[in-house]
Amino acid sequence: MECYLDNSATTRVLEEAAELAKSVMLKDYGNPSSLHNMGFNAEKYIKKADEIFAGILKCSPKNIIFTSGGTESNNTAIIGTAIFKKSRGRHLITTPFEHPAVSRVMKFLEGQGFEVDYLDVDPEGFIDLEQLEDLIREDTILVSLMHVNNEIGTVEPISEAGEIIHKKNPDCLFHVDDIQGFGKLPLNPKACHIDLLSASSHKLHGPKGVGLLYMSDRTHISPIIFGGGQMQGLRSGTENVPGIAGFSKAAEMIFDGLDEKILNMRTLREGFIEELKKIPDVFINGPKDPAKAAPHIVSASVKDVRAEVLLHALEDKGIYVSSGSACSSNRKTVSESLKAIGAPDWAHESTVRFSFSCFTVKEELDYTISVLNEIIPQLRKFVRR
C-alpha cells in the first residue's frame, strides 16, 4: 500500500488541473502580452483565474498578482513593503518560527538596517497577542505572521492579530503567510485586516512554480522584479499561463465543499492522534485543542527513534512522511518551531510530520498506525548505548 502523508511538502496535481495546464501549453500557448488572438486567448486564462481567486478571497481581481510560488510571494510582500515604506519606518514584527521564505528575508532586512522583533510563542505554538500590541510602534511598517505553522500545525489567531494591528497603528501593513493554510482553512483577508497574503499552488494539488500574492486596496509596495510590467507592474515576466490556469482549476475544485473536507480531515486527524498516543512514548506537538490546530498536520515526537531512520523505515513500507530536521553526523539542522515551543532536546532528532490532504482516507491512516506499531518497537531495540 502506498500512503503519501507528506502533503505539506507538496501534493499530487489534480488530473483536471494537469489536463488544463497541458492544453494551455499545447493549444493556447500565446503570450498574454501579444496583440493578436493567440495572446488574447491566453490572457483569458489569467482573467478566469483572477475571478476564481477573487471569489475565494472575497476581493476584487485587481487585488491579486500571480508569482512563481510561495517563496516569491513572501519575498515580494516583505521586501516590497520594506523598500516602499523605509522612509516612514524601519521596524518589523514576526514570529520566531516562520518558514525560511520569511525568516531569511527578515534576516536580510536586519542586515540592511531594519529592526525586527520576534514574538514569543507558548508551548503549543501560539503567539502572544498582548506582546504583539506592546511591540507595535509608530514606525512599525509590517507585521508578518504565518496562518498555519508548517511543522506543528498551530493555527495562529490571525483575526485577533489583525484587529490589534489595525487599532494600534492603522498605517502598519499586515502580511500573512498562508502557504500551509490556503485550501485547508478558510481565511477572509478583508475581515481580518490583512493587507498581504501569500499562497502557493502546489500545496493544494496545483502545479509547482506558481503562487499568488493578495494585496488589499490600500496596499502599495515596491516591485522586486522589474521588466515588462506584467501583473500591474508588480511582478514582471511573461505570465506562467499553464501554471496559473492549473492553479486556478485546482483551487476551484479544492475550495468546492471545503467545509466538509475540513470536517473529514479533522475526524481523520483526531482518530489518528488517538491511535498514536497509544504507542508508548509518542508525543504530539502543537495545540491540545484540536479546533485550534490545522486539520491536516500531525507532528509526533517518537522517543528513542531517530526521525530519519523512522522516515526511511516507513518509506520501506510505502509510507512517505517528513522529518523535522535532516540527520547527519556532521551537520545538524534544528527545527525552529520545536525550538520556539521549548521542545526537549531529544525531540529535535525524533520528530516526524504526517500531513494529510482532502484525499487522504482512513485505510491509509489505519495502515500507517499498524506499521508504526510494528516498527517503532523494532527500532527502539537499537538505540545508541
Q: Least Å distance between CB 321 and another protein?
A: 12
| Secondary structure E strands in 172-253 | 173-177, 196-200, 211-215
E strand or H helix that includes residue 80: helix 70-85
Judge contact between 13 and 250, C-beta under 8 A: yes
Task: Between 226 and 382, name the residue whose CB sits nearer to another protein.
Answer: 382
Cα–Cα distance between 46 and 32 in angstroms, integer?
9
Q: Least Å distance between CB 375 and another protein?
A: 9
User: With binding defined as CB under 8 A, does residue 2 bind another protein?
Assistant: no
Pick the catalytic residue: 3, 59, 172, 327? 327
Q: Which of 1, 191, 361, 383 binds another protein (CB under 8 A)?
A: 383
Q: Least Å distance between CB 2 and another protein?
A: 16
Let me know if 358 is a catalytic residue: no
Cα–Cα distance between 211 and 244 in angstroms, integer?
8
User: With binding defined as CB under 8 A, does residue 329 bind another protein?
Assistant: yes
**CA-wise closest residue to 61 among 194, 231, 179, 187:** 231
Task: Between 192 and 311, name the residue whose CB sits nearer to another protein.
Answer: 311
Q: Which of 111, 278, 288, 330 binds another protein (CB under 8 A)?
A: 330
Task: Between 101 and 311, name the residue whose CB sits nearer to another protein.
Answer: 311
Q: Report how many residues bind another protein under the rule CB under 8 A.
A: 20
Do the bridges between strand 322-323 and strand 64-67 make them parallel or antiparallel, or are there none, so unpaired?
Answer: unpaired
**CA-wise closest residue to 90 among 106, 71, 72, 73:** 106
- Interactions with another protein, residue window 343-382 (CB under 8 A): 381-382
**Burial of 260 per CB tally in 10 Å (0-12, 13-18, 19+):** exposed
Task: Between 194 and 376, name the residue whose CB sits nearer to another protein.
Answer: 376
Task: Between 37 and 328, name the residue whose CB sits nearer to another protein.
Answer: 328
C-alpha count within 13 angstroms, C-beta hemisphere, residue 315: 11
Do the bridges between strand 115-118 and strand 91-94 make them parallel or antiparallel, or are there none, so unpaired?
Answer: parallel
Q: Least Å distance between CB 327 and another protein?
A: 5
Which strands, in side-by-side order, build the sheet including 351-355?
282-285, 297-302, 351-355, 322-323
Task: Between 81 and 325, name the residue whose CB sits nearer to another protein.
Answer: 325
Q: Which stretch binds another protein (CB under 8 A): 45-53, 130-138, 292-300, 329-337?
A: 329-337
Residue with cell string 475540513: 262
What distances in angstroms separate CA 122 from CA 154, 170, 266, 288, 304, one per listed residue? 11, 27, 23, 12, 25
Q: Least Å distance between CB 264 and another protein?
A: 31
Q: Which of 36, 278, 288, 384 binds another protein (CB under 8 A)?
A: 384
Task: Between 2 and 289, name the residue whose CB sits nearer to another protein.
Answer: 2
Residue with cell string 522612509: 87
Cα–Cα distance between 307 and 349 in angstroms, integer?
6
- Interactions with another protein, residue window 197-226 (CB under 8 A): none
What nine digits make up the cell of 287?
A: 495545540
Judge contact between 69 and 211, C-beta under 8 A: yes
Q: Least Å distance between CB 13 and another protein?
A: 24
Q: Least Å distance between CB 379 and another protein?
A: 8
Q: Least Å distance between CB 330 and another protein?
A: 6
**Per-residue interface string for the shown chain with another protein, residues 284-323, x marking contact by CB under 8 A:** ----------------------x-xxxxxx-xx-------
**CA-wise closest residue to 195 among 135, 156, 143, 132:** 143
What nine digits make up the cell of 156?
A: 495562529
Judge contact between 336 and 348, C-beta under 8 A: no
Task: Between 123 and 377, name the residue whose CB sits nearer to another protein.
Answer: 377
User: With binding defined as CB under 8 A, does residue 385 bind another protein?
Assistant: yes
Residues that bind another protein (CB under 8 A): 306, 308-313, 315-316, 326-331, 381-385
**What are the residue numbers of the active site?**
327
